[in-house]
Structure 1
Amino acid sequence: MSHAPLATARATPDAVSTSTAVEAAPEPTATAPARPASDPPLQWTDPNTLLMSSRYQMWQQHSVHLVVSGSMVTRLGMDQMDGRGQLNTKNKNERSRFTSKGASMTLLTSGGHSYLKGDRAFWTRDGLSGPGVHKLLSGYARVKDGSSSLTGMVPGIVSDTDTYFGNGLAEYELFDVRSGTRNGRPVVIVFVKQGAKPKGKLMSATIDPTSGLPLVVECTDHTVTFDEWGQVKKFGKPENILDMPPLDLGRSTRTRT
């Protein structure tokens, strides 16, 4: 999954006003299913079984919450991404918060369109000032359709994890599987032993032995934590949408005022 660097956006805040949209009622969702007791026990000491089961179980879920740090987001100019969203790539629906050097922005995608809300540090980091900043803080700005590579990040990261696990099955020769605990609950951890030369960059995967779902995936250059598998509700449009031209996130053209 490749993404263009995050670009700053043009805003003419002095003409900004807000309009209200009715937020769509979220659809009820079920919690991530536990493995039925009637299923035959899995061989949780076998890394192939662990990774294959985890790959399968990820795509049985319709949504997830994940937090990403490392090169997967630093190449976008960000320090961390905290996102919740659906795994359906055709109908993108997610809300992600990106932070960088004390500034943050939230990108919400719903109904085929994306909306951005930045904090004061986000809007002022390039010199934007004046009363328009206060207006920008009051709601979400529309994003020009097709201008942002940040939409669809949640299913893209799950897809990348699937690839890392698949590469592990194909390329890794040295594994170590250990039991442990995370937040007071038992887990199993697949480690790539020192001396292995993996192509997929996977270093370790912490997996819930009940559901088979990944909880933490550590690679050579980034880390992803997962929770709320199958529990994230769909997002409607934001309540306060700013009355201004859509922002083009593909251009570094923020206007100073």
Structure 2
Amino acid sequence: MRQRVATQLTAGLAAAVLLTGCGGSDESSEDAAASSAASSSSASEETGAEVAADAADALEEAGAAHVTGTIGTGAEEQAIDLYLQGEDATGSITVAGQEVQLLTVGGVSYFQGPADFWLSSGVPQEAVDQLVGVWVVVPATEAAAFQQLTLTGLAQELRSPTDGAVEDEVTTEELDGEEVLVVTQADGSSLYVAADDPRYPLQIVNSGDDAGTLTFDGFGEEQEITAPADALDLSELGA
């Protein structure tokens, strides 16, 4: 059972982890650059990598942020609502239509799912009652992916995206009536950064198979994030 549940949860969150790298667009880098140039004016002499690094620095200095958005389309769409604080996180991610609560504290990740989530993960009906409303420790083999869903992990991804190089040209657009700097990745995905200091990352927009948008707010607004008492280790339940 441990392997089936771990596979279900990890697959559902994979797109969320990857989106922080702004990857997955079907648009070529040439088309993306042309589109960006047509819709935006040129910004400062800073490169895209420098602006992205500024955003990472501002995020880390804030110490906390709220991230919301969706990833995927149709039946594959997933919703994210997370508070990130240093290397900790709390909130929810929708997996296969089921809202799963996620918590990361002190390098250990936990999740809590409704009955339908456990049933769709292959858990026998007779065992579901033991799991509903219970915090479960994420298996060690899957835990590394969850570390990217933290403020620290996101800042690292902004500095060194895993899914393609950042274009040198930085353009400007308006987001919610305010001027922002736009950093474009080689695959066409975009990072929107506040034009004024502090240069917070405000939005990540991705297209292609992992289409979606993540929006950031609540910078510096810390939450009380504590480890759950009596969390269950799935390995103790057997296969």
TM-score computed with the length of structure 1 as normaliser: 0.57
Q: Relative to structure 1, is the Cα distance of residues 47 and 129 closer, same or farther in structure 2, using a 3 angstrom cutoff?
A: farther
Name the amino acid aligned to 2:219: W
Q: Relative to structure 1, is the Cα distance of residues 202 and 106 closer, same or farther in structure 2, using a 3 angstrom cutoff?
A: same
Q: Which of 24, 46, 56 is equivalent to 1:48?
A: 46
Q: Name segments (4+ residues, structure 1) moved above 6 Å.
A: none
SS in 2 for 1:48: coil
Partner of 2:68: 67
* Rounded Cα–Cα distance in structure 1 between residues aligned with 2:213 and 2:225: 26
Tell me the C-alpha RMSD between the 2 structures.
3.7
SS in 2 for 1:156: helix
* Rounded Cα–Cα distance in structure 1 between residues aligned with 2:238 and 2:90: 23
% same residue: 19
Partner of 1:114: 109
Unaligned runs of 5+ in 2: 10-41
Structure (1 or 2) with the larger CA radius of gyration: 1
Quote how far apart the aligned CAs of 1:147 are.
4.2
Name the amino acid aligned to 1:57: A
Query: Following superposition of structure 1 onto structure 2, how do residues 206-225 of structure 1 map, counting pairs within 5 Å?
Result: 206-207=193-194, 209-221=196-208, 222-225=212-215
Quote how far apart the aligned CAs of 1:141 are.
2.1
SS in 1 for 2:159: helix
Query: Following superposition of structure 1 onto structure 2, how do residues 1-257 of structure 1 map, counting pairs within 5 Å?
Result: 7-8=7-8, 45-46=43-44, 48=46, 51=51, 53-67=54-68, 69-70=70-71, 79-87=78-86, 92-130=87-125, 132-152=127-147, 153-154=149-150, 155-164=152-161, 167-168=165-166, 171-173=167-169, 175-178=170-173, 180-182=174-176, 186-190=178-182, 192=184, 198-199=185-186, 201-207=188-194, 209-221=196-208, 222-239=212-229, 241=230, 244=232, 246-247=233-234
Aligned residues: 189
Quote how far apart the aligned CAs of 1:140 are.
1.0
Partner of 1:22: none
Quote how far apart the aligned CAs of 1:138 are.
2.5
Quote how far apart the aligned CAs of 1:177 are.
1.3
Q: Is the 8 A contact 2:113 2:133 kept in 1?
A: no
Q: Is the 8 A contact 1:63 1:85 kept in 2?
A: yes
